[in-house]
Amino acid sequence: MIASRPVDVTVVPVSFRDLVPEITASAYLTHGLYYYPAKFIPHAVRYCLQQFTQPGDTVVDPFAGSGTVGLEACLCGRRAFLLDLNYLLDHIIPLKIYQGRLALSPAVLEERLHAIFSGGTEFHPHWDTIGYWYAPEILAGLQRLWGAQKQLPHDTYALVLEAALLKVSKHFSYAEHRLPKLFRSKSKRLYIDGLLQGDWQTRLHRQLRTQAQNILEDVNELVEKLNGSVPALVHQGGVDSGSYEFRPGMEFQALISSPPYLQAQEYVRTFKLDLYWLGYKQRDIQRITALEIPYRKASRIVETHTLNAVRAHLSSAKLSGMLDSYFCHTLNVFDNAMAQLVRGARACIFIGNPRVDGLEVEIWRVFMEYFSDRGFECEAVLEDRIKARQLFSARKNKNPDGMKSEFMLILRKQ
């Protein structure tokens, strides 16, 4: 295969937070209901929606993650089509983009909390090693709470309590709840041991109530903001976006997406604990884990001028294989979704440049070169300096200093 030619482009520095001042915080409304690593900042999504779409247009995000594109699209009067490998998407969206016209009742929530605290049914996650992550008495307490939650009517209040339980179940585990991967540490073990010396059950119940009340308030703020007007929304978790079969004739007016980062794509591992509490079985999780980029071999070798230069620098076959897998499967996803774009539509891809083997990999440039040979013109590359990041010096970090910027690649379909 002939490598794509190098493409000249001027990178323009911007601040999406300054360009979209109406968004005052990244976690406003329901953006903060669920923890999700490497979240798409809503300012960048809003900018693309305002610049490249019109009310009533449909936007696709094949790496939907926590649903940032979906919520911003609804707030801007656009329809959204969301896909993601993680089953969690189908639990996030009905609450994060609540479509009810009436505010939720704090009194009803309190009734449901009372039912949970007094319930006797237990739920046992389908995971043989669940006990590795919990002190026995805390695990038993959580099994009772989750058992009662699963007996509630399947409505929005149950979703509120599900989201709150996910947070407290991680907080009261041996897993570091501030880390982007499932990770057990000595410091967290000491923290849990300290909790067990006191009235940990009252503390857990209090935290669950507070989380649930906060979530209800955020959802009600969204209800007031939308004022009963929610555009059409489609979401599907647990799917391989690269092989997803779109309905014949389906068209999108824009793609806005932030793909996984190179060397940081193990999102299923991050949410393994959550997925088992939600009721998924080992075979369910093994199925989507096998489709994650780090565990798939490349079915083709992507070549571009920049990518070939990176390959020539790498010191091991393992790193070359990781690079080939990443670009093969990430670009398969974009090829599949961008084939549904109408002529003149934009694909807005937000990504950072990690370091591999000491070399900075300009992922946006590889994408630009690849699509320049496939009917897309590079319209702009916007560099947004990262204002805040969470680094973990105690862990083996592939990019210990963090990425300084993220880049919005804007491609126009010819």
- In the prediction, which pLDDT does 120 show? 79
Average pLDDT over residues 84-110: 96
Q: Are 343 and 413 in contact (CB under 8 A)?
A: yes
Left (φ > 0), alpha (ψ -120 to 50) or beta: where does 402 sit? left
**Domains (ranges, CATH) in the chain?**
11-89+232-388+402-413 (3.40.50.150), 106-225 (no CATH)
- In the prediction, which pLDDT does 183 show? 84
Tokens of 325: 């897998």
pLDDT band at 400 (very low <50, low <70, confident <90, very high): very low
CA angle 296, 297, 300 (to 5 degrees): 125
Tens of pLDDT, residue by residue over 280-336, are: 999 999 999 999 887 789 999 999 999 999 999 998 999 999 999 999 999 999 999
Q: Are 141 and 134 in contact (CB under 8 A)?
A: no
- In the prediction, which pLDDT does 393 show? 42
Q: Are 263 and 152 in contact (CB under 8 A)?
A: no
Percent of the chain with pLDDT over 70: 93
Residue 70 has pLDDT above 90, yes or no: yes
pLDDT band at 176 (very low <50, low <70, confident <90, very high): confident
Specify the 3-state DSSP secondary structure of 152.
coil
Tens of pLDDT, residue by residue over 5-49, are: 666 789 999 999 999 999 999 999 999 998 888 888 999 999 999
Average pLDDT over residues 138-159: 97
Structure-token match 């992507």, residue found: 302
